[in-house]
Chains A and B, each alone.
Chain A
Amino acid sequence: MLLGLRRRWERVPRALQIVLPRLALLVPQMFGVLFVTFFLIRLLPGDPAVLLLGNMATPDAVAQLRDRLGLNDSVWVQFLTYCGNVLHGDLGISIFTSNPVTVDLLERAPATLELIAYAMVLTVIIGVTVAVASVVRPGGAVDMGARVYGLAAGAIPDFWIGLILIYVFFTMLGWSAAPFGRIDAMMSAPPYVTGFYTVDALLAGDVAALTSAAGRLVLPVLTIAIVNAGALMKMTQSIFAGAWRSDFVRHARACGVPERVIIRAAMCNSLPPIITMIGFLVGFLLGAAVLVETIFSWGGLGQYAVQAVMNSDYPALQGFVLVAAAFILVVYLVVDILYELADPRIKV
C-alpha cells in the first residue's frame, strides 16, 4: 500500500514533488503566525476588549465584543474563535478609521506593493551587477566603489537618507516631485485595475497620470534601493566570489572557455543562494516601507501601521502584522521552490 503510493509519487514531475510538500508546510506555519499575532494583543495589561475598542467605547459595546471574542471562555477557545474570524476575513474594526481592518488593508496594499516591487527590481539590478563586476575585475574602479558603498549602505538609516534626498532634490534643486503621496493632488488616480498607479495609467493610456505616478515613485524607490542594495551586493559578492574561485571555474578557464561563458556559468551556480537572499530582502523592504511611506505620505500599509502604533489602534496593528507575516511566508515559499528548482543537486 505504502510502496504503491511511493511509486505513484515518484512518477509525479520533479517540480510538483518540490511544490506540493512545501505548500502543505504553509498550513502549520500560518497557524504559528496566527498564534503569535493572537498573543501579541494578550501581552497587554488590561481588558483586550477595551483595548480593541479604544477608551471611548461604551460598556455595552465592550460587553458585546467580549462576547464575540469569547473572552469569557478559555484562552484556547478564544484562539480558535480568532482563527475562525481570520479565516472569514474578519480582522476587527479599526479604532482610528472605524472601518473594518480588512477593508483598510486591501485598500492600501497596492500602494505598498507597487513601491516594494519597483524598489526590489532596482535593488536587484544594482546589487547583482555591481557584485559581479567587482568580483570579475578585482581592484578595479567598480570594486573600490563597491567596497565603500557596501560599508556605507549598511550604515545609512533609510528614513534619514529619504529626508536628505527630499532636501536635495526637492527643496534645493527642485528636480523631483513633492513627497506627498503617490500622484499629484490635482490629479485623480487612474481607474482601478491592478492598483499599481503606473500600470493602471498605462492601461488607461493616461500619460499625465503615468508621468506623475512615476515621478512620485523615484525618490522613495531610490531611498529603499540605496539602503538595501548594499546588503544584497555584499552577499552576492561573497557568494559569487566563492563560485568564481572554485575549481570548476579554473578548470573551465584552463579548457579555453571564454570569460563571458564562465561568468554565466558561475552566475548559474550562485543563483540558489542569491534567490534566498532576495527572499529575505523582501522582509527588509517591507520594514523599510513602513519608514519610507511615512516620510513620503505614501498612504500604504506601512503608513497605516505607523498610524496604528501612534493611535494605539490595536486591531489595525494586529491585522497589519498578520498580513505582513503571511505575505513574507508566501514569499519564502516561492523562494524555497525556486531554490530547489535552480539546483539539480537537491534530492526530492
Chain B
Amino acid sequence: MKLPPALRRPAAVIGLTLLALQIVMIVFAPAISPYSPVDADPVASLQPPSAAHWFGTDITGMDVFSRVVYATRINLLISVVSVAGAFVIGVPLGLLIGYYRGAASSFAMRLFDFIQAFPIFVLGMALVAVMGQEIWNVAIVLAILFIPIFARLIRAEVLSLRERPFVAAARCSGASDRHIMFRHLLPNALLPAMVQVSISIGMAILLTAGLSFIGAGVRMPTPEWGLMVSTGAQQMILGVWWVSLFPGLAIVVAVLCFALLGDVMRDLLDPTRRPAPARAKRQPANTGQTP
C-alpha cells in the first residue's frame, strides 16, 4: 500500500521516528539505562560526560542519562493522561453547548472565560500548590486547564457545521437530534480536535516541566525533566552545563515530536490537499439586488 503524501514528507518521517524513539525509551527504560535513576552516589558527584556516564552526573551523583530515559515515562504519562482526560470531557461538553444554545451553554462559556482569564501557567501553579504536589494532581490540574480548549474548539466547529446545508438535509431525511449530533456533527468536528490533541500533549509536557522547575510539580528524586533542569540550574553559571542541558534537550525532542505529528495530522485532514472535487464554479450566495 502506498503511504499518503502527508506521511512521506520529512516532517512526518522525523515526527514518527521521534515518537518511536520515545516509545522505546518508555518500554525498555530498565534495559537502556546503565544506572538506577534514583540512587545517589555522593562520590561521583558532578562528573562531566564520559564513557561511564554518557550525560555526566548531577550534584547527588545520580546518572543523568538514566534519569533522562526514565523521565520519559513520567513526563509522557502525565501529558497523555491529562490530555486524554481533557479530550474525553471537553469534546462531549463542546458538542452539547454547541448544539443546544441556551442559558446552560452560555453559562458554561462564561465559566471557560473565567478559567481562561487566568494565565495558564499561573493558574496551574496555584492549583498544584493548593492541591498538593503529586504526579496525579499535576495531571488533574492540566486536564482541568485543557478542558476549555477542547470544549471551545468543538463548540466553534459545531456552531459552523450546524449551519451547513447537509445538516438541514439530514433533518429533512428525518434525522433526530442525536443522529445529527453523533453521525453528522461529531465526525466532522472531531478531526480538528485531533490536531489539538497533538499540540496539547506538547503543551502539557512543557507545563509539567515548568511546574516541576519552580518546585510546584513532582518532587525529588522522581526522574522528571523539568526537575532535572532545575537541579542543574544553580551550577550552570559555574560551568556545569550537562546536568541541565540533556533533560532540556529531551523536552525539546518530545515537544517537537508532537508538534510535527500535529502538523502531519493537519495535512492529512486539510481538504485542500485532497484530490480536488471537479465541480462548477461556486456561485456566490446572497448577492442582494436592492440598491
**Chain A residues close to B by CB (< 8 Å):** 29, 32-33, 35-36, 40-41, 43-44, 151-152, 154-161, 163-164, 166-167, 170-172, 179, 283-284, 286-288, 290-291, 294-295, 305-306, 308-310, 312, 314, 317-318, 320-321, 324-325, 328-329, 332
Given A163-B236, A321-B126, verify A286-B215 contact (CB < 8 Å).
no
Encode contact with A along B211-239: 1 for CB under 8 Å, 0 otherwise.
00111100000000010011011001111
Structural contact, A324 and B237, CB atoms closer than 8 A: no
Structural contact, B214 and A33, CB atoms closer than 8 A: no
Extra inter-chain contacts (13) besides given A166-B236, A328-B117, CB under 8 Å: A33-B117, A33-B118, A36-B114, A43-B131, A44-B130, A154-B259, A155-B202, A159-B229, A294-B213, A306-B214, A309-B126, A321-B126, A325-B117
Whether a CB of chain A sits under 8 angstroms from the CB of B129 is yes
Structural contact, B122 and A305, CB atoms closer than 8 A: yes
Q: With A and B bound together, what is the CA distance between A310 and B126 in angstroms? A: 11
Residues in B neighbouring A41, C-beta threshold 8 A: 130
Structural contact, A163 and B206, CB atoms closer than 8 A: no
* Nearest-neighbor residue (CB-CB) of B263 within chain A: A151
Given A167-B241, A305-B122, A309-B214, verify A156-B129 contact (CB < 8 Å).
no
Residues in B neighbouring A166, C-beta threshold 8 A: 236-237
Whether a CB of chain A sits under 8 angstroms from the CB of B123 is yes
Given A317-B126, A332-B117, verify A157-B259 contact (CB < 8 Å).
no
Residues in A neighbouring B114, C-beta threshold 8 A: 29, 32-33, 35-36
Structural contact, B245 and A321, CB atoms closer than 8 A: no
Structural contact, B248 and A164, CB atoms closer than 8 A: yes
Given A32-B113, A40-B127, verify A171-B237 contact (CB < 8 Å).
yes
Min distance, Cβ A128 to any Cβ of chain B, angstroms? 21
Structural contact, A179 and B129, CB atoms closer than 8 A: no
Q: Give the most central of B122, B215, B237, B239: most A CB within 10 Å.
A: B122
- Per the 8 Å Cβ criterion, residues 1-57 of B in contact with A are 11
Structural contact, A291 and B236, CB atoms closer than 8 A: no
Q: Give the most central of B110, B125, B127, B255: most A CB within 10 Å.
A: B125
Main secondary structure of the interface of A (DSSP, over half): helix
Q: With A and B bound together, what is the CA distance between A309 and B124 in angstroms? A: 11
Structural contact, B248 and A284, CB atoms closer than 8 A: no
Q: List 9 A-B contacts (CB under 8 A).
A: A29-B114, A151-B260, A155-B206, A155-B252, A167-B239, A290-B122, A291-B210, A325-B122, A332-B117
* Nearest-neighbor residue (CB-CB) of A168 within chain B: B241
Structural contact, A291 and B252, CB atoms closer than 8 A: no
Whether a CB of chain A sits under 8 angstroms from the CB of B153 is no
Q: With A and B bound together, what is the CA distance between A286 and B117 in angstroms? A: 12
Whether a CB of chain A sits under 8 angstroms from the CB of B119 is yes
Q: With A and B bound together, what is the CA distance between A329 and B119 in angstroms? A: 10
Q: What total of chain B residues lie within 8 Å of the partner, measured CB to CB?
A: 47
**Chain B residues close to A by CB (< 8 Å):** 11, 110, 113-115, 117-123, 125-127, 129-131, 202, 206, 209-210, 213-216, 226, 229-230, 232-233, 236-239, 241, 244-245, 248, 251-253, 255-256, 259-260, 263
Residues in A neighbouring B216, C-beta threshold 8 A: 306, 309
Structural contact, A306 and B117, CB atoms closer than 8 A: no
For the complex of A and B, the 7 pairs showing the least CB-CB separation, nearest first, are A287-B121, A160-B248, A155-B255, A32-B114, A155-B256, A283-B119, A309-B129
Structural contact, B214 and A294, CB atoms closer than 8 A: yes
Contact of B129 among A167, A172, A284, A317 (CB under 8 A): A317
* Nearest-neighbor residue (CB-CB) of A42 within chain B: B130
Residues in B neighbouring A40, C-beta threshold 8 A: 126-127, 130
Given A155-B202, A312-B129, verify A29-B238 contact (CB < 8 Å).
no
Q: With A and B bound together, what is the CA distance between A203 and B119 in angstroms? A: 33
Contact of B237 among A157, A167, A308 (CB under 8 A): A167
Residues in A neighbouring B131, C-beta threshold 8 A: 43
Given A154-B202, A294-B214, verify A160-B251 contact (CB < 8 Å).
yes
Given A171-B237, A283-B120, verify A155-B259 contact (CB < 8 Å).
yes
Structural contact, A151 and B119, CB atoms closer than 8 A: no
Structural contact, A157 and B214, CB atoms closer than 8 A: no
Structural contact, B241 and A321, CB atoms closer than 8 A: no
Q: With A and B bound together, what is the CA distance between A283 and B115 in angstroms? A: 12
Q: With A and B bound together, what is the CA distance between A318 and B118 in angstroms? A: 12
Min distance, Cβ A324 to any Cβ of chain B, angstroms? 5
* Nearest-neighbor residue (CB-CB) of A284 within chain B: B119
Q: With A and B bound together, what is the CA distance between A179 and B239 in angstroms? A: 14
Structural contact, A321 and B123, CB atoms closer than 8 A: yes
Q: With A and B bound together, what is the CA distance between A204 and B236 in angstroms? A: 36
Q: With A and B bound together, what is the CA distance between A283 and B129 in angstroms? A: 20
Structural contact, B229 and A157, CB atoms closer than 8 A: yes
Q: With A and B bound together, what is the CA distance between A167 and B234 in angstroms? A: 11
* Nearest-neighbor residue (CB-CB) of A35 within chain B: B114
Q: With A and B bound together, what is the CA distance between A298 and B239 in angstroms? A: 21
Given A44-B130, A310-B215, verify A325-B118 contact (CB < 8 Å).
yes
Given A32-B110, A155-B256, verify A171-B121 contact (CB < 8 Å).
no
Structural contact, B236 and A171, CB atoms closer than 8 A: yes
Residues in A neighbouring B110, C-beta threshold 8 A: 32
Residues in A neighbouring B238, C-beta threshold 8 A: 171
Q: Give the most central of B202, B215, B253: most A CB within 10 Å.
A: B215
Contact of A157 among B11, B118, B241, B248 (CB under 8 A): B248
Q: With A and B bound together, what is the CA distance between A314 and B131 in angstroms? A: 12
Q: With A and B bound together, what is the CA distance between A30 and B44 in angstroms? A: 54
Residues in B neighbouring A43, C-beta threshold 8 A: 127, 130-131
Structural contact, A29 and B113, CB atoms closer than 8 A: yes
Residues in B neighbouring A35, C-beta threshold 8 A: 114
Residues in B neighbouring A156, C-beta threshold 8 A: 252, 255
Q: With A and B bound together, what is the CA distance between A33 and B237 in angstroms? A: 39
